[in-house]
Structure formats: structure tokens, C-alpha cells
């Protein structure tokens, strides 16, 4: 299904003229070799362009249409019209060598063979260059010597003749495409993707743009060990994909990975997404909805309301078809290969409804008014990560499982919940809005905690013992803070939360008797200076403990989450706000 969807996407893009046709690809080009009509190097042209990379502006190679590049392993394999300095000039940063000259010779033979019947100025200039150029004399060429460091940095080079790129010359294009129409002598069979009779692709083109994979690209389909092969078939003949389908799926996937708007990092994985028919408005909206910001949260809020009320959805006067097919693909690097974390296919309407349910489960009153209304996937995962470390990426498999669960409305992975609890404990009970939202969503979805929505959003409370104990802990902390202000008139640096929260959350029977003794000492100070506040706290604790028959020896993981939510609920409740006033 993945390859079929990508092939269809390629065909949709080709109809719109947004992607290279068969036999062509888009590659990043660093420099152009300007040739005279007799094949002499006249100049080296920088084709790099300024691009914004975060806060910096850097020079980046320019993406251009060039003849399809070969997939290299360890042997010598030449490209046509576009390659690095080893193949185009027979040199690297250290000069030339036997290996470099073999690379250049392979490139020379390929160009002379393809252009043997071409008589135009561009073709003649290229042939003349290859017939006269000698890699061992490269340093004697003043133009090459002056730009040696730039040419040999590893970027791709192309030819420039008569004021245009060589690959734009019609005669050269026809010569190249004629070779593409010829059979390559590889095995013929039924393509698993299209169902058509076609030459089977032995080695698939590399996929580039996945962080952590090799810079030259990684394979989505490959077989390089006998253990992976069967029925006497070798390499990719074990999964017969025709030449056309192989070109189409690799081209469309590489195209997606060059589009910053239609991909995003998820932990150590990369996620790409597209709509059938190559309708970019759906991709734009998906990006907005999945990771809302302060700037677009009004749009998300409007859409959520329309989904709840069953109304038509429109974004900036564009009607959204709920039946539109939509695809999400999550890939992770694995040395020279790629692994598929998940592939999601659904109607756009169903996907939005699943996202709406997810955001509803996350909905929880905020401690700070300036916090964003919707916790996007990136922000959600950041709540599980130690922000003091350099590597702030979520674990790849957990991040992928979270996104898949959200899109398909399935149970959240247990690792999301456990990592959130661990992060709260590591931060001595720092229960942020995001962490509380994750716990609430997890308990509602995975534990069917039906009263969770009501007690966290309507001002009601829960009768659950763990929830009550969390509320009690928050009040005990407030009593300590209030008593300390009377003595010092300063904010207390550490509270019972820093010392006792973790143990109270897990083994309340061991900790709460200690907390109650501390409370008695703190409340006496409050009674002297703020008797009304002291009475309020005592009454509130009495209400809570009337429903708690005993302190449990140990709380389960589910109960620990409820304890934390009880603590959070009390801190943001209306009564607490009135006390602060």
C-alpha cells in the first residue's frame, strides 16, 4: 500500500508539472563548469543560493532537474551530466589517483556513448571536454586550481554551455531519454505495485533527507544478506518492483523530503504526509492542526467547533472534503536502510475527528493564562524529556507510536504515560499543564476513567482516594507556604513537594502521617495571624479526609496519575485562586 500510494502521488504531481518526469530527478547542485565550444573550462560558477537556516543565512546547493542519478555501492558507477569532482574531473581534495581516473574514465565513456550521434554545440562541447581533459594535469588549469577546494568539497557539478545548463539542451535531453527507453537487460516480471509486466529493478534509488541516515541516502527496499533472500532470488528481485514503479515511488518520496512544509521531525524519525490528487491545501491544514501555535490556534478552535457540531469545514474560504484520502508515513534511519515506523491511510474527515477527540481528552484548565490552548504533538513529547539535556529528541519508537495512536484514535502507548510520571518525579513534583493533560488523556483513553473529563473541567471533584490525596497534598503545601510567609514575608525556596511528593504519590501510608504532623505546626502559625485562612484549610482537609477511610500502602500506576491530577486540580481551582487574592 505504501508504494502504491507513492506511485499514485507521483502521477498526480507529474500532471501538475511539479516533479521530474521519468529519467530525470531533482538533485542539489553546488557548481557549474562553464565550457567553451571547444570543450575548454572557462569558469567555475557557484550555483549555491542563500537560504534561512534557523536564525542564520547560509549558502545551500540549488535543487535542479538533472538526469536520474545511479545508485552506488562500492563499485564505479557514472552519472550523466551531473556528478561530484571524482567523476566529472577525476580529482578530489588530495589530487588524483588510480581510483579517481577510473571514475573519470567511466564518466567519459558514458557521455561519449550517449552523445555519439548528437551534433549540437552543447553536445560537441561536452564531448570535446572529455576527450581533452586529463585529471593528472588538473592542477595546471588556472580556473580549476583557483577553485580546487570548492570543487572537491563533495557537491554535485554540472555543465554550463552557451549561457544555459547542459541538461536544458533539447538535443542532449533527447539523447538521454533515448537511452532510458532501451531495455537494460534486467529480469522481466510482474510488478508487485502496478501489476504490469516490466523490467524488475535490481537496486532501488536511495531516499535522501532522513536525519541520521547516510548522507548519500538510504534504501527503503533492499536485500543484502542471504538470510533475507528466498527461492534462489537475490537483491531486490525478492520483492519484484518494476522500473517504472521504482522510479515513481522513490521520486515522489524524495520530493516530499525536500518540502519543508510537508514533513516534520518526530523524535529521531521523519514524518511526511500527502493527499491523494496532490492537493496541497490538505497538507497545509494538517500541519496547522497537528502542531498548533499561538498564531493559528484560533483556526484550530474554529475547526474543532465545526467538527463537534457536524458543520462543513472550510479554511480560508477553501471547502474541505471529509472524504479526501490522506496519507501519513513515518520513517526512521537504520544505517544504510530505512525502517517504516508506521503508515497511516484514512479519509481526511476521519483523521480530523480522531484529532478532535485527542484534543478534547487533553483539554484541561491551565495554570497560566499565556499558555497555548492546544498541546501539539511536538510540545506533548517535549513534556516527557529532560529540558536540561542537549539531546531533546523523544525516543523514536515511542514518538511514532504516540502519533499513530492519535491519528487512528487508538490507545496511547504506555511509555508516554510512564515517561511523563518519571519526568514529574525527576523534577520533584513539577506538574505542568502539559504533563497533567497527558495524564488525563491517558487515563480517559486507556483506563476508561469516565469521571476524568467532568472532574478536571467542570469544577467537580472525584471520589477516587488517590485523587483526594493529591488534593490534600496541594492544600498541605499551601499551608506550609502560608505559614512561611508570616515568618519571613518571602517566597519559600523549597516545600514539602520537593521532599515528599514522590513518596506521597507512591506510598501515601508512609508519608501522610509525617505531613499531618508538619501541618499541625504550620497551621498554628496561620491561626495566629490569618485565622480565617487557617479555618478554610482545616475545613477543606476535613472534607477530603471524610471520604478517605485509610491511607493506602501503595498506589498503582493508574492511581499515581490520579494523585497527580488531584494535586493539579487543587492548585488551579477557583478556591485556590481566591486564596491567592
DSSP 3-state assignment of 464?
coil
Q: Are 83 and 104 in contact (CB under 8 A)?
A: no
Which pLDDT score is estimated for 133?
Answer: 96
The answer to whether the beta carbons of residues 276 and 8 sit under 8 Å apart is yes
C-alpha to C-alpha distance for 48 and 65, rounded to whole angstroms: 15
pLDDT for the residue 579: 46
How much is the pTM?
Answer: 0.82
pLDDT along the chain (581 residues), means of 10: 95 91 89 96 94 84 91 85 96 90 96 95 97 94 94 94 95 92 74 90 87 85 72 73 92 92 90 95 88 82 76 71 94 88 94 92 83 86 88 85 96 96 94 95 93 73 90 94 76 87 96 95 89 92 92 96 95 58 47
Could you give the C-alpha distances from 539 to 229, 530, 531, 535, in angstroms and in order? 73, 14, 12, 6
The pLDDT value recorded for residue 334 is: 83
SS3 for 190-250 is ECCCCCCEEEECCCCCCECCCCCCCCCCEECCCCCCHHHCCCCCCHHHHCCCEHHHHHHHH
Q: Measure the CA–CA gap between 501 and 508, rounded to whole angstroms.
A: 10
pLDDT at 30: 96
Residue with cell 499543564: 433
> Given phi > 0 = left and psi -120 to 50 = alpha, else beta, which region is 74?
alpha
Closest to 13 measured CA to CA, from 288, 243, 248: 248
Cell of 268: 529521531
Please report the pLDDT score of residue 237 as a whole number. Answer: 75
3-state DSSP assignment of residue 469: helix
C-alpha cell at 418: 510512564
State the pLDDT at residue 577: 52
Dist CA 365 CA 361 (whole Å): 12
Phi then psi for residue 447, to 5 deg, are: -110, 5
* Alpha carbon distance 74, 497 (integer Å): 60
Three-state DSSP at 315 gives strand
Per-residue model confidence (pLDDT) at position 79? 96
CA dist 341 and 326 (Å) reads 17
Q: What integer pLDDT is reported at residue 581 of this predicted model?
A: 47
What are 453's three cell numbers?
473529563
Amino acid at each position: 500500500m505504501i508504494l502504491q500510494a507513492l506511485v499514485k502521488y507521483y502521477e498526480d504531481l507529474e500532471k501538475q508539472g511539479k516533479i521530474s518526469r521519468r529519467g530525470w530527478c531533482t538533485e542539489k547542485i553546488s557548481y557549474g563548469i562553464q565550457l567553451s565550444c571547444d570543450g575548454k573550462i572557462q569558469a567555475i560558477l557557484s550555483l549555491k543560493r542563500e537560504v534561512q537556516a534557523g536564525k542564520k543565512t547560509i549558502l545551500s546547493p540549488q535543487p535542479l532537474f538533472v538526469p536520474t542519478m545511479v545508485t552506488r555501492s562500492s563499485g564505479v558507477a557514472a552519472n550523466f551530466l551531473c556528478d561530484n569532482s571524482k567523476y566529472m574531473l577525476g580529482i578530489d581534495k588530495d589530487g588524483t589517483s588510480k581510483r579517481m581516473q577510473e571514475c573519470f574514465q567511466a564518466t567519459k565513456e558514458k557521455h561519449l556513448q550517449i552523445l555519439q550521434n548528437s551534433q549540437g554545440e552543447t553536445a560537441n562541447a561536452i564531448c570535446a571536454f572529455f576527450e581533452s581533459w586529463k585529471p593528472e594535469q588538473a592542477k595546471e588549469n588556472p580556473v580549476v586550481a583557483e577553485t580546487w577546494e570548492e570543487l572537491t568539497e563533495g557537491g554535485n557539478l554540472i555543465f554550463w554551455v552557451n549561457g544555459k545548463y547542459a541538461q536544458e539542451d533539447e538535443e542532449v535531453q533527447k539523447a538521454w531519454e533515448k537511452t532510458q527507453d532501451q531495455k537494460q537487460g534486467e529480469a522481466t516480471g510482474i510488478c508487485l505495485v502496478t501489476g504490469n509486466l516490466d523490467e524488475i529493478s535490481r537496486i532501488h534509488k536511495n531516499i535522501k533527507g532522513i536525519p541520521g541516515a547516510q548522507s548519500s541516502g538510504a534504501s527503503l527496499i533492499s536485500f543484502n544478506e542471504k538470510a533475507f533472500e528466498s527461492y534462489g532470488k537475490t537483491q531486490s528481485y525478492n520483492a519484484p518492483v518494476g522500473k517504472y514503479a521504482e522510479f515513481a515511488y522513490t521520486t515522489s518520496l524524495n520530493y516530499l523530503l525536500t518540502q519543508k512544509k510537508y514533513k516534520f521531525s518526530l523524535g529521531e524519525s521523519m514524518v511526511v504526509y500527502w493527499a491523494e490528487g496532490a492537493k496541497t491545501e490538505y497538507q497545509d491544514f494538517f500541519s496547522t492542526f497537528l502542531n498548533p501555535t499561538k498564531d493559528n490556534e484560533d483556526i484550530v478552535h474554529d475547526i474543532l467547533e465545526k467538527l463537534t457540531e457536524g458543520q462543513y469545514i472550510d479554511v480560508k474560504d477553501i471547502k474541505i472534503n471529509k472524504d479526501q484520502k490522506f496519507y501519513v508515513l513515518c520513517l526512521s534511519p537504520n544505517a544504510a536502510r530505512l525502517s517504516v515506523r508506521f503508515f497511516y491511510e484514512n479519509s481526511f474527515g476521519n483523521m480530523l475527528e480522531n484529532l478532535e477527540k485527542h484534543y478534547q481528552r487533553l483539554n484541561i484548565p491551565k495554570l497560566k493564562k499565556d499558555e497555548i490552548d492546544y498541546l501539539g504533538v511536538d510540545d506533548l513529547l517535549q513534556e516527557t524529556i529532560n529540558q536540561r539535556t542537549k539531546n531533546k529528541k523523544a525516543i523514536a519508537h515511542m514518538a511514532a507510536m504516540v502519533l499513530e495512536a492519535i491519528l487512528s484514535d487508538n490507545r496511547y502507548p504506555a511509555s508516554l504515560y510512564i515517561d511523563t510520571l518519571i519526568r514529574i518525579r525527576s523534577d520533584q513534583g513539577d506538574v505542568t499543564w502539559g504533563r497533567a493533560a497527558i495524564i488525563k488523556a491517558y487515563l480517559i483513553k486507556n483506563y476508561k476513567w469516565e469521571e476524568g473529563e467532568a472532574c478536571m473541567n467542570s469544577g467537580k471533584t472525584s471520589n477516587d482516594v488517590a485523587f483526594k490525596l493529591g488534593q490534600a497534598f496541594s492544600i498541605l503545601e499551601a499551608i506550609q507556604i502560608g505559614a512561611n510567609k508570616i515568618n519571613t514575608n518571602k517566597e519559600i525556596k523549597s516545600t514539602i513537594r520537593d521532599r515528599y511528593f514522590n513518596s506521597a504519590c507512591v506510598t501515601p501510608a508512609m508519608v501522610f502521617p509525617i505531613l499531618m504532623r508538619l501541618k499541625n505546626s504550620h497551621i498554628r502559625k496561620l491561626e495566629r495571624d490569618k485565622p480565617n485562612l487557617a479555618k478554610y484549610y482545616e475545613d477543606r482537609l476535613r472534607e477530603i479526609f471524610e471520604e478517605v477511610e485509610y491511607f493506602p500502602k501503595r498506589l498503582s500506576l493508574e492511581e499515581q496519575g490520579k494523585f497527580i491530577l488531584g494535586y493539579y486540580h487543587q492548585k488551579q481551582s477557583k478556591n485556590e485562586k481566591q486564596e491567592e487574592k
